[in-house]
Each structure stands twice: as structure tokens, then as C-alpha cells.
Structure 1
């Protein structure tokens, strides 16, 4: 994927938001609302990771840096960004599932209280 335009990125992000929301379709709307911002951030990171992956595939994870007589192999900045973003992406998904579990536990406790 070549770097898409801002509009195309926004469309891809919205599709990803819709996809993630469809995973949690059985979750009540009020609980999905709590996770809304986290879902939006995860969707953004997903698209950014795809763009970075394509850059790394086409340009490689390293490149030959030349300055005067000095030459050295250095890490592609896209690779660094990818690694950092992937770390945060994984953490964000973990937080999302933790949040959903806590919301479900709270709902389960409320259901038990109502049964009494």
C-alpha cells in the first residue's frame, strides 16, 4: 500500500473502527461507548502499521547511509516507528480486552444482585 491520502486514511480508519465494533456487537452500546476512544486509537494504529509495513517491504528494514567517505548500514526510520507502534498497539489491544472484561464482570455482578 503506497501512502494513502489523508481522506483515504480516514476512510480506512473508519472501516477498521467498524470492524472492531462488529467484534463487540453483543456488547451493550453504553459499554462500547466507554471503549470508543480506545477503539479509535487502535484503528488508527492498525492503518499506520499497514503503511509502515509496506514501506519496510519496499525499502527494507535497513539502508546504506553515506556521508562523505563514511558508509554504514542503519535501521530504516520506518522500522523504528513500526516497532514502537507495534508495541503500543499490542498494549492498547490488551487494555481494550481488559476493559471489556471488567465491564462484563461488572454487568455480571449487577445481574446477580438483581436475581436476589
Structure 2
């Protein structure tokens, strides 16, 4: 993903999350802003990693010396797996910040709760 496109996607994701969490109390919104920015970056990075995995595949071949060869998990897959967990944790933290009567759009809250429960 080109840097310009990635930055544009990050901005779109940031805007989307800020709209969803706009009704948080001001003290929580200050904390949430950092998480929103991290979640947006991770969403864009995950999209980038997905494209790399689709292009290169899930495994890499390796050779250690003359006789030792095999396949291993591609580095992009390992990074992706770690980042998905971190993204899920960030979304869960954001959802947990929102009190029941926070005014979150019910559909958005349901989607975010679903994402936060997935592992």
C-alpha cells in the first residue's frame, strides 16, 4: 500500500472511530483519542499485511546450509497475528470506556462489541 493511500486510510478510520465515540465523556475522550489513532494505524497496517499475505502466501521457504531446507510461517503472517490481537485489545478498550448510556449508535456498538470479543 502506497504511503499516501495508507495515510488516507488511517485518516478515514480515525474519523470513523471519532464519530462512533464522539459522545464519550470528555475525560474518557482524551484517553480514547490515543487509542483511536493507534487502532486506525493498526487497521491500515492490517490491510497492508493482508495484501502482502495474499500476494506472497502464508509460508516462506528457507535453507540453512546445504542440506537443511523447509518451509516456515511468513514474517508477514506473524506480524499480522500479533497486530490483530493488539487491534482487538484496542477496540475492546474503547468499547469498555463507553458507558451503557454513552449514546453510541446501537449498530456501531454491536459491531465493535463483536470485534472486541473475537480472538
Q: TM-score range by the shorter chain?
A: 0.7 to 0.9
Find the aligned partners of 1:45 and 1:103 in 2 and give their Cα distance: 28
Q: Which runs of 4+ in 1 moved over 6 A?
A: none
In 2, Cα distance between equivalents of 1:103 and 1:65: 54
Per the TM alignment, residue 50 of structure 1 is displaced from its structure 2 partner at its CA by 0.5
Q: Report the 3-state secondary structure (helix = DSSP H, G, I; strand = E; otherwise coil) of the residue aligned with 2:98.
A: helix
Question: Highest relative contact order (Cα 8 Å, sep 6+), 1 or 2?
Answer: 2
**Aligned: 1:65 with 2:62:** yes
1:75 aligns to 2:64 (yes or no): no
User: Match of 1:65, SS?
Assistant: strand
What displacement does 1:62 show? 0.8
Q: CA deviation at 1:29?
A: 7.3
Matched, 1:12 2:9: yes
Contact in 1 for aligned 2:42/2:83 (Cα 8 Å): yes
Bigger Rg, which one: 1
Q: TM-score under structure 1 normalisation?
A: 0.75
Contact 2:46 2:84 in 1 (8 A): yes
Q: CA deviation at 1:92?
A: 0.8
Question: 31, 36, 50: which one pairs with 2:33?
Answer: 36
TM-score of the superposition, structure 2-length normalised?
Answer: 0.73
- Stretches of structure 1 lacking an aligned partner (at least 5 in a row): 105-116
Q: How well do the aligned residues superpose, as a CA RMSD in angstroms? A: 2.1
State the shift of 1:34 in Å. Answer: 3.4
1:19 Cα deviation from its structure 2 partner:
1.2
